[in-house]
Every structure is written in structure tokens, then in C-alpha cells.
Chain A
């Protein structure tokens, strides 16, 4: 299982062929994805055409850059021109977008070979990919367990060697949590760092495009190729994109690492607690200084998130009415058609959140719910600002538990609590990364989360890279046969 940078370096040297590599991945998907269930759509023809074009460029010694020919997978939440895009929902079962998302256009422009579209919780609502309308996805480390979610298909594809890298979206932890569960790297950059244009919206103020990779160099490459201002996204940040690979110096000397007390309390699996503390010790051994900090508003994160995200979702999902595209269930009149379409097209979790959000935005409740949640959000942001006066990065567990079994968390609240450590960075828009930091006794991966300052992805990547290079975890791979 090779990383993107290993593959494209080999392409450049002529030691490997983009077409042969694409065929290898497609063959592996054909042989193994029945077990994993990572892909909803495999775009074989498009992938091979892109690989052939890349190969021609390498032969002409004019590759497009370090992603040229890299076989990657995309969460089925990104619109791909001419390729079915479902967002994991029955209501978009047959939807074929007429345009490419900005992220897709930028990846194509960088020469990436898109292998297909990966499974996800419906409209990115979930933490296990069990809320997909189409299929279960299995964790390559233990097929009886979930890969996490909502970007479970993208994480499982990378962990299982069914793609060299992938993109997901992270709204409350939907890339970092599956990265932790599947033992890969997942990074949510600063809000607005990567354009959201063409990403099927769940919660607009929380949605982040986020790469999943086998190592930190690959994360730096994917981030560098896709970050930057987009005139089509008014919330995208207009700031220069640094050379993230050049930022990977291998050193954390003088780096100040904060450890927030609130992330190591009740509900945290003791094996994860231990692994993360060992990882923090490792950072100290490498030259970082470590100190305790406090983020007192942490306990309000989940509650606040579950007002803001459903409220925005109830609005964003209003367009699925059977009038213009996707599923339509006929009715006796317009209202009846819309009701029947949405009743048949949305799954239970989506309906639950649409109802929650509709209620939170209703006249008379707006200020008490949505208004109050936005005020709490400001307080959470202040907590972080205060902590970042003293430290450069925060180190926490990514998840309170390791990957759970399918069906284990049937209670929505138990499922929601799985995002307790990832939600604060989502709510504040701060960059955060999950890197593998060990395994529990049963051999399931554990993730270390690092949270950084706004737009300071370079420092996060440098810290994560130094840690990765000093530990064996990123080299361990599951065996799928």
C-alpha cells in the first residue's frame, strides 16, 4: 500500500505507470469492496481515461504536479459532472449533477485520477455510515465494526487500500472520527480554507472539505492542491496558501502543546486515554513543551452543535421536494407530492434533524435556540482564543471510544456523544487533524487530535508529521486478504 507521494514520485521516475496503478486499484476494488462497501459508484472509464492522460504527461516529462495520476476517492457529497451524486440519500438516488464542485475541478486540474464516489451517512448526518440509504460500510480493521462517519466510505477506502487518498467532509467530526476509527490521517482545515462550492450542504456554517490520507505528506499535498479562495464561495478565505510540504521540517522544538483537562474526563475509554497521553509524552520527548489548559465551555459543545447543525440542515434540505430533480412521489396535489416525496426520500435520522431544526428556527423559539446557540458558539471561540495565547496547538483524543460494532449505538444520543471531542473545532472553524497514535488491546486504531490556530494548518501539519515520523503507527495496515 503506497502513499500518494510514493506513487507520483515513482511515476516521475518512470518506475510505475499511472494506468497500471489505476488498474491495480480498480482490480482491488473489484475484488475487495464487496467486503468493505466503501464505494457507491466506481468510475472506471473516467479513471482510466484520466490515468492515460497522466501517463502521457509523465512521458512528455510535463506532469501537472505531485498529484498527477494519484488514484483518489471522493465522498458522494461532492458534485461530479455527469456522475451520479447521491449524498447517501434515496431522494438523490438518480441525481446526476451538471457541474463539478470546485474541489473536484481543482483535483482534476492537478491530474488526480478519481476512482469513484464513496459511501456516507445520508446527507452527512451520522457517525457510523450506518445511515446511508444504500449499504453498510465495514471497518477494514474489523469488518464487524463501523468505519465511523459520516465520511466512512472515504476513510475505509484509504485504510483498505482501495484508494491512495480521499476527500470527505467534516461538519462535527465526520472526517477526523472515521480517520481515528480506520487508522488513517484526517484533517479538517480552517473553515473556508477549501471551497464548499459543489459540496451538497448539510450545515453551511459547519461544513468543511477535508482530506483523508495514509500519511502527513499526502495530507499536505492534497490540502495544498485544493485550498485557496474561490470566487464561487463567498465564505472561502482569501489568503495565500503556503507550501505545506515545505513546512514539514520534522521538528517540534519549542512548540507549545496544550492539553485541555475537559477532554480527559468521564466517558473516555481508558485505553484511548493512555494512548493519547503516551503520544503527548512523545511530543515532549521530541522537544515540545506541554502544559495543561482549560476549555470550560467544552461541555456545551454537543448541545449547541445539535441546535445549529439541524437548523441549517432543515433549511438546506428544503430544496428536495420532487419538483426539479431526484425522487418524486406523485400526490393528489402539490403539498401532497412534496410530503410523500420527502417521506419516502429521507431516512429516519435526516427526518429527525429536519424536524429538530425546523422547531429551533420557528417564531418564538428562534432566539432561545438558534440565537442562544450562536452566542454559546462565540463563548467557545473565546475559550480557544484564550488557550492559544499560551500554546500553539492543543492535543486531545479524537474520539472517546474506538470503532464500535454495527448496530451498537442505536440510541441517537449515544451516537451524538461520539463527536464530543471533534465538535468544538467544528463550531469554531479551527483547523484540526487526527493522526494514528496506537491500537487498543483488540487491535483497533486510536486517533490523536491536534487543534491549531485559524489558518495555521502549517504548524499542525509540522507537529503531526514530527510525531508520525517518530512512531510506527502510520505504517501499520489492516489485512483484507
Chain B
């Protein structure tokens, strides 16, 4: 609301499920969609007597993420128990981190309409996920509920941003950039539909120019980029309308209802918990050796921002194309692999990716991009055939379509189908002669000054060649022969 009288202030808490093979504190697998309670053991079911053991890979992933965001990794951190009663949480406490998180104070640079903005990240910590309740019937009237503990104990990394975001678009952009970093690191699959990335937002308004923060409202259940933006837009409107009427904003938690496109209040009493945090006595403090932290730093791959800049400099891409590619690790990898095979024309390759490849797959679907039927090496081969004049751009589109279905490389298809471009002046010349001889009207029109008539003759020749004639050469021959005749 850049033009309104209020300034919007937003902070995001993002829960990312780490892409580890086993759960946070036990050895259970982490696959999505398994039959209820099939991926559980006494530990993640909270049986009497069980103890947690920290998943080292989860710690590695969290440390890499912290380093990627420039957070300070604490040499020692602790887990803490957070207590509340809910049947999806088998121990009735969640092992999380409280006073001594894994990392603190970093930032993420987010591209907005006004250029790059630095959004502060306050803290990053590890915790375990809870299970899932399945209500038999509607939530309000259900007579019973079932619990699926497959998700119980999944490793979660919570990241809390500073209230540095100034609009719903900002928030969505932050989340996109955040996701891109996690996916580039390989620590999270970034799949919001399956709940691998979940977001809560804190939003408040204040009179433009004020320095004090307004009363904040927490919105839960934001499970897509679209929902984040729409929920925040609704909430900003709701709050500004309330403030306009002179009402006070109540500090509360609201739930986003995607079907109604509105937020609604969760009864605040029910959620006014005293979590009774205390250090988890079943785990010793996590001590992270400096040398080990540096090893993790060395394991960080090229991140989206650096990749975007490299695409601009190295491949000469326009910034918009560079951003589009860099937001998706799979797409950027695809591009890099294609260019590695054929380095002469990265722009040409990228044009084929942004126009043809992205017509077939969703840029955000990393798995689909990775498994795309045409491997990047084959796309590079196709572009090379255009560039060296073997095929025309038009024929290339047909070849692309065949590559999609057959999985063969471009050269094989061109050779078998005899699609090689005709660029022999003798053969083309006789085709042009035939066209001129067969179209006296077009020749007359051209002579009368209608230069467009030449185009009709070019078209005739292209048709006669089965689309294989080199269009530039045909154009030149038609012009020459018409002027001479």
C-alpha cells in the first residue's frame, strides 16, 4: 500500500522440512504419502521410555542454510521442550530450540520492483514436526478424529525474518527467493503442496512515517505463494479499514481460509499457551566445531543470486531471463549443462529454454525440469544445427517436437527425415526460376512497384522445398532474379 496512509510491516516465519532420509530424532523414513502410521516407531510415537538422538544430516543442512543467509552459527546450541497438549503431538511437548538457537542474525537479498532489498533474518533453529489429525467429518461436528504420526518427528528448520517486508508482494518475493536458496542448497524440496515449506506471517500497519510498530496479527496456514500474497492483501485491507474507523487492532492469531479468501480469528484463549520451555535433558548441548562449520561452508553450491549475476555476465542474458533461470535450481542446471556442450550461443539456448522448454514444464517444478524428455545436451545440439545453417528455425520447431516424443537427438532426426536445409545456389536457383515462370502475375506486380509480391514468390519456393530451403538465400535469389528479368 505504497500510496496509502499506512505503512505495512510484515515478518515471515518459514518452516522448511529438511530433505533428510530419516527423521529428526529417530531412524524412520521421511517419504511423503505413505499409508497412515506406516513410517513410525516407538520414538516418533512418543512411547514410554524412548529417547531422541539428533540427526546429524539435519544439523548439516541447517548449518549450510545458516551460512547461505550469512547467519552467525552459534558454537553451542541447545534443544528445548515446548509444552502444550494436542493429540497430534505424541509426547505433548515438541523438541525445538528456544533461548539458544542454532544460528542468529543474517539476511536474504530480495528483488523487488525498486531493486534489491535486504531482508533481515533473526534466527534459524531446528525442531521436530507433529503428526496429522484426520477428522471424521467436518471439523466442527466430527464425532471422532484419527491421528497419523507419519509426519511426527520430521525434521523442520524454522527461520524467522525481521519485520522488514513492506507489502504482500514483498512477502511473496521473499518466500520465492528463500525457497530458491533452499532448493539450490539441496536441503529442502521446496514443495509447498506437500507441506515441505510452510509459512506464518506477522503483519501490522502503522501511520506512514511512524517508527513504532503497530499491533501485529499472526496469520497461519499459508501453504502457497499465492495464498501468502492473497492472505496478506486481505489482512492489510481488513486492518486499514479497521484503523480508518478508529478501531483498535487486537493482537491475535488468524487462520487463512483459502476457499473464502479471508482470514478469521482463532479463539485466542485456546491458543494462549504457557509453553514452559526448558532445556531438553535427553540431549546434550550441540557443540559445533569451527573447522566442521567451515567444511559445511565449502559444501555450499552456487546460490541463486550469484548464479543470476553469472548468467548476465557470462552468457550475456538480460537480467529478467537470468532471474527466471536462477530461481529454479533445475532450470539453471539445465541451462549450464546445455551451454557446456555448446558455448557459442548461450542466448540462443536460453531463448529455446524460456520459449519452448517452459511451454512443456513448469519452472517451479524442479522434478519435472530435471526429468524433462529432452536432455540439455540435445537442446544444445538443436541450437547448434540452426546456427550452422543445417536446419532453419522453422524446421527446428518440428525437430523439437519429435525430440519430445522420441527422445532422440536433433542430428539423428534431421538426418533420418532428410530435413537438412537446402543452401545450394544452383538447386535453389532452379526452384526460383520455376516459381517466376509459374507466376507471371506476381512478376508483373513486382515490376509495377509492389515489392511485397516478392514475398509470395519466396513462399512458393519454401513450399516447393518442403520448408528445407534456406529462407535468407531464397530471398536473395528471388530479389536478384526479379531485378534481372
A99 touches B282 (CB 8 A): no
**Which A residues are in CB contact (< 8 Å) with B93?**
315, 318
The complex places the Cα of A338 from the Cα of B278 at a distance, in Å, of 23
A318 touches B278 (CB 8 A): no
A234 touches B278 (CB 8 A): no
A201 at the A/B interface (Cβ < 8 Å)?
yes
B283 touches A235 (CB 8 A): yes
Query: Which listed segment binds B: A126-134, A173-181, A359-367?
Result: A359-367
Chain B: interface size category: 20 to 34
B279 nearest in chain A by CB position: A374
B147 at the A/B interface (Cβ < 8 Å)?
yes
B85 nearest in chain A by CB position: A338
**How near does chain A come to B44, taking the closest CB pair, in angstroms?**
12
Query: Which listed segment binds B: A48-56, A246-254, A319-327?
Result: A319-327
B91 at the A/B interface (Cβ < 8 Å)?
yes
The complex places the Cα of A101 from the Cα of B282 at a distance, in Å, of 15
B241 at the A/B interface (Cβ < 8 Å)?
no
Chain A: interface size category: 35 or more
Type the 1/0 row for A274-314, where 1 means its CB is closer than 8 Å to any CB of B. Answer: 00000000000000000000000000000000000001101
A:219-237 near B, CB below 8 Å: 231-235
A363 touches B282 (CB 8 A): no
A97 at the A/B interface (Cβ < 8 Å)?
yes
A150 at the A/B interface (Cβ < 8 Å)?
no
The complex places the Cα of A98 from the Cα of B47 at a distance, in Å, of 9
B50 touches A363 (CB 8 A): no
B417 at the A/B interface (Cβ < 8 Å)?
no
**Which A residues are in CB contact (< 8 Å) with B90?**
319, 323-324
A203 nearest in chain B by CB position: B281
**How near does chain B come to A235, taking the closest CB pair, in angstroms?**
6
Type the 1/0 row for B268-284, where 1 means its CB is closer than 8 Å to any CB of A. Answer: 00000010111001111
A437 at the A/B interface (Cβ < 8 Å)?
no
**Which B residues are in CB contact (< 8 Å) with A119?**
none
The complex places the Cα of A87 from the Cα of B83 at a distance, in Å, of 22
The complex places the Cα of A311 from the Cα of B46 at a distance, in Å, of 19
The complex places the Cα of A311 from the Cα of B278 at a distance, in Å, of 9
**How near does chain B come to A193, taking the closest CB pair, in angstroms?**
15
Give which listed residue, B48, B54, B83, B283, contacts A97 with CB less than 8 A: B48
A101 touches B49 (CB 8 A): yes
B53 touches A234 (CB 8 A): yes
B85 touches A318 (CB 8 A): yes
A:128-157 near B, CB below 8 Å: none
A319 touches B48 (CB 8 A): yes
A370 at the A/B interface (Cβ < 8 Å)?
yes
The interface centre, meaning the residue of A205, A315, A338 with most chain B CB atoms within 10 A of its CB, is A315
Give which listed residue, A197, A231, A323, contacts B147 with CB less than 8 A: A323
The complex places the Cα of A198 from the Cα of B47 at a distance, in Å, of 9
**How near does chain A come to B87, taking the closest CB pair, in angstroms?**
5
The complex places the Cα of A61 from the Cα of B85 at a distance, in Å, of 55
B81 touches A95 (CB 8 A): no
A324 touches B51 (CB 8 A): no
**Which A residues are in CB contact (< 8 Å) with B42?**
97-99
A315 touches B278 (CB 8 A): yes
The complex places the Cα of A146 from the Cα of B337 at a distance, in Å, of 78
B85 touches A335 (CB 8 A): yes
B54 nearest in chain A by CB position: A234
A358 at the A/B interface (Cβ < 8 Å)?
yes
**Which B residues are in CB contact (< 8 Å) with A325?**
47-48
A4 at the A/B interface (Cβ < 8 Å)?
no
**Which B residues are in CB contact (< 8 Å) with A338?**
85
**Which B residues are in CB contact (< 8 Å) with A370?**
278
B92 touches A205 (CB 8 A): no
B:143-184 near A, CB below 8 Å: 147
B390 at the A/B interface (Cβ < 8 Å)?
no
A201 nearest in chain B by CB position: B49
B214 at the A/B interface (Cβ < 8 Å)?
no
A449 at the A/B interface (Cβ < 8 Å)?
no
The complex places the Cα of A335 from the Cα of B147 at a distance, in Å, of 16
**Which B residues are in CB contact (< 8 Å) with A323?**
87, 90, 147
B276 touches A200 (CB 8 A): no
Interface residues of A (CB under 8 A from B): 78-79, 85, 87, 92, 95, 97-99, 101, 196-201, 203-205, 231-235, 311-312, 314-315, 318-319, 321, 323-325, 334-335, 338, 358, 361-363, 366, 370
Interface residues of B (CB under 8 A from A): 42, 45-54, 81, 83, 85, 87, 90-93, 147, 274, 276-278, 281-284
What would 12 A/B residue contacts be, using CB atoms closer than 8 Å? A79-B49, A197-B50, A200-B48, A201-B48, A234-B284, A235-B283, A315-B278, A323-B147, A335-B85, A338-B85, A362-B276, A363-B276
